[in-house]
Each structure stands twice: as C-alpha cells, then as structure tokens.
Chains A and B, each alone.
Chain A
C-alpha cells in the first residue's frame, strides 16, 4: 500500500509539473459550462437542479478521459522510465494501481472545479443537494472505470495518439452499449441473451439512474468489477509488452 501511494503521489505531482493539468482543468470547466448553459438550457428549464450538467458528463468523459489515460503507460514505455519503475522493488500491480489512482485523483480535482455550478443552483433555488452529491460520485465512478479501460489501452502501445483514439472509441462503446447505436448492431449478428448481456454493460444506464438519485447495488458492483477487471488486464498487458 505504501508503494501504491508513493507512485500515485509522484504521478499526481507530475500532472501539475506539466501544462497538462492546467490546460485540461480549464478546458473541462469551460466545456462543462457551455454544455450546461447553452446545450442544456439551464435557465430556460426553470428548475433548480444540475441535470443540465450531469446529462452531458458521460459525453464529456468519452473525449476527456482518454486524454488523461492515453499517457499512463504509453509515455512510460516511450521514454523508457517503465524500465526504471519496474526494476525498483515494486510489483506490476502496485505500479498499475498507483498510476491509475493518481489519474482518478486528478479527475476528482477537475470535477471539484465545477463547484461554481453547484453554488449557482443553490443561489437560484433549493436543489436536492443529496442527488447532486450522488451525481458527482457517479461521475467520479464513471471516470474511474473509463480510466481503468484507458490504462489497459495505453499499456498496449508506445504511441499516445493511438491510445487516445482507441480510448475514445472504447469509451464510446462502453457508455452507449445500452442504446440503439450499439444494440442494433449487436442484435443483427448475435442471439438475444448476448444483446441483453451487452445492454447490461451500458455505463449510461447505470449513470442516468444514479443522477436521478437511484443507486442500485448492481451499479456499484458493475463499476467495481469493471475497474478490477481492466486494471488486472493492464497488469497482464504490461507484463507481456513492457519491453517491446
């Protein structure tokens, strides 16, 4: 555990040691404002809640999360620091979890930076702050899951652009797998139980439920098992490909 936190701490300081953190934070906050007020018609809705914001969060994540996860391992492999890290007395699991944890911490900071929206609705009316808090947690859970997927993709390649593009595609499929976009394509080639299995993997279904205040145990199990699976896959991919 000590090693995990040491690696996470170094990594998190690394975000703020480069322009990445500041560019990402500022653009994410601007985009979330644009989405909420322009596309979400925040004022015209006349309702003191943040659903105009949270309805756009999964789509923001599809683009923004791979921009963070793409560098997790691709950069280490490109610069050769992966050899340094893996020859220190740490296990691959500790390194994978530590770096992923730092990326989750960074997204937590980014989400916290949208707090002005929360203050705004409290000034304008009396929102259900419990629902908003759960929605923020659901956003972080969605981000943590997509970061785990992106971590695995990043371990496959030394090229960050490749990791980004595949990361966007994978995130899009995971978010939309319960919608006709994916289900129509699957039902054309697979039996019904496969269609249902794919639909149950949809992040959007779980996320929308949470933003309406319904947190099902199945959603928590879904997020945790996705994270565990993809981080484990990262360890496997990394062990096989780190020296290529």
Chain B
C-alpha cells in the first residue's frame, strides 16, 4: 500500500477513522481504508454491519461523528461539493425519480454535474451504452424492471467519469446475465479508478474484486485478496469464502490472524 503522505502516489479514496453512532448503537466504529487507482474493493459483511452507513459517509450523505474520507485528496466533510464532483455513487436500492424517463433523469444528473450541450449528450449516450439501457430510455422509470432500475442508478454514477466509484449492491436484483455485464463494466472501469462495491454475494469477490474487506459490528475484521482471506482458516482444507465469512462474522473471530491482516488497512 502506498504511503498516504506522498501526494502523487496517494490513494484516490482514503477512509480515515470513520465513526458513526445512532443513539446508543455504534454502527461504524473506526473504519480506515485506502483504495488506490486500479483497485476494486469488495465490501462484505452481514446485514447491519455498517457497510451502507460507511458508504453514506464516504458519499457525504451522512456526517461522521469522528474521522473523515478524502476523495482524490479532497476532504468530504470540509469541501463536500468539490469532493462529490470526483465521486460516482449508487445509493442502496438505486433510488431514482420514478416519473422521469432514464434519459431525462440522466440529463438532469449531467446538468447538475456541469455537463451540458454536446458534452452532456455524449456523456449520457456513453453511459446508456455501457449499461445497455438503450431499449428503455424513453420509458418511465417507475414502469421498469428491477434490473433496469439498478442500471439507471449505475448509469447515473458513471456518467461524469468519476475517479472514485462507490456502488452499494450494484448487482442486487439482476439476473445472471446482467450480473455478468455489470461485473465486466466494473472491470473495464477499474483501470485508472478506485472502486468500492458492497455485496452479499461472495462469488462476486472472486469475479471482480482485487481485494476484499469484511466488516462486522462496525469494525474491519479482515482485509486482503480472496486467497489471503481463505488462508485465514488454516485448519481447513480448501476453505470457501463463505466459511471464512461465517467464521469471522459470527463473533468467533481469530484475533491474532485477522488482527494482523486488518492492521494492514490502517496505513
């Protein structure tokens, strides 16, 4: 991992000690991660582990109690508007204005992002092509299937060619062909970008992620490549990621090994 004090080598996305409580519940309790260009980070964890809360803080939707995130070196808490220009974000559930058409919706997002006229048109057309939305661009979003709605959300996130992409469950609700398409798209986009995706689907980690982080109860419990995570279960032969996930998030954490790997995330 590149040291973060070297500006030209510093990671595109830096998550620095994020904490967030809802009442007495500590949803996120000191998560730090660096994601350099070219990396696709899989964000795993059981429901309620703090994945979406962390992503909402990175996207500048929730204010953290402590810590911050930097997108291309710009602090989300200090310069939210500037930081958001470099970020593409797919919120959980891919919300969109249902009475609009995908084209109208993308035109609105492009206009807010300062892409107007010919540049806007080109960006919209490219996003439509990349997400294969062509057949439905003139239909009302409310009438679209779950898969198309999800892709409208992804199109909105990649519209302005952001350097950092944060996608909350990008393949949820897609059929296997569509999942494959989205994974290919993520792989294409990953070359000079930092991408974070959250997922429940462990096979996705092998399919697209160059690195995976498992969080549980608001803290990072493991951080490494898929193979490194499998290596955490030393006494099992050919462990599956599912076994690792189950082992680490059921409260039965291996303190010495996971501590060593999770420690690497705090650089």
Contact = CB atoms under 8 A, between A and B. Distances in A.
Interface string B75-89: 000001110110101
Contacts of A13: 100, 104
A3 interface: yes
A14 B82 CA distance: 28
Contacts of B263: none
B15 to A, nearest CB: 16
Main secondary structure on chain A at its contact with chain B?
helix
15 contacts: A10-B108, A17-B100, A80-B92, A81-B97, A83-B56, A83-B95, A84-B96, A86-B61, A87-B59, A87-B89, A88-B84, A89-B81, A91-B80, A243-B56, A243-B61
B112 A90 contact: yes
Contacts of A87: 59-61, 84, 87, 89, 91
Interface string A1-41: 00100110010011001100000000000000000000000
Contacts of B59: 83, 87
Nearest to A81: B95
A79 interface: yes
Contact of B81 (A6, A14, A18, A90): A90
B29 interface: no
B96 to A, nearest CB: 7
A80 B93 contact: yes
Contacts of A83: 56, 59, 61, 91-92, 95
A137 to B, nearest CB: 31
A158 interface: no
Nearest to B112: A88
Interface in A66-89: 79-81, 83-84, 86-89
A35 to B, nearest CB: 31
A242 interface: yes
Nearest to B63: A239
Interface residues of B, number: 28
A2 B14 CA distance: 31
A20 to B, nearest CB: 9
Contacts of B81: 89-91
A88 B97 CA distance: 14
Contacts of B112: 3, 6-7, 88-90
A100 to B, nearest CB: 17
> Top 6 nearest A-B pairs by Cβ distance?
A80-B95, A17-B99, A89-B84, A83-B91, A87-B59, A81-B95
A88 B61 contact: no
A82 B79 CA distance: 20
Contact of A242 (B61, B109, B111): B61
Contacts of B82: 89
A90 B93 CA distance: 21
Nearest to B111: A6
Interface in B46-82: 56, 59-62, 80-82
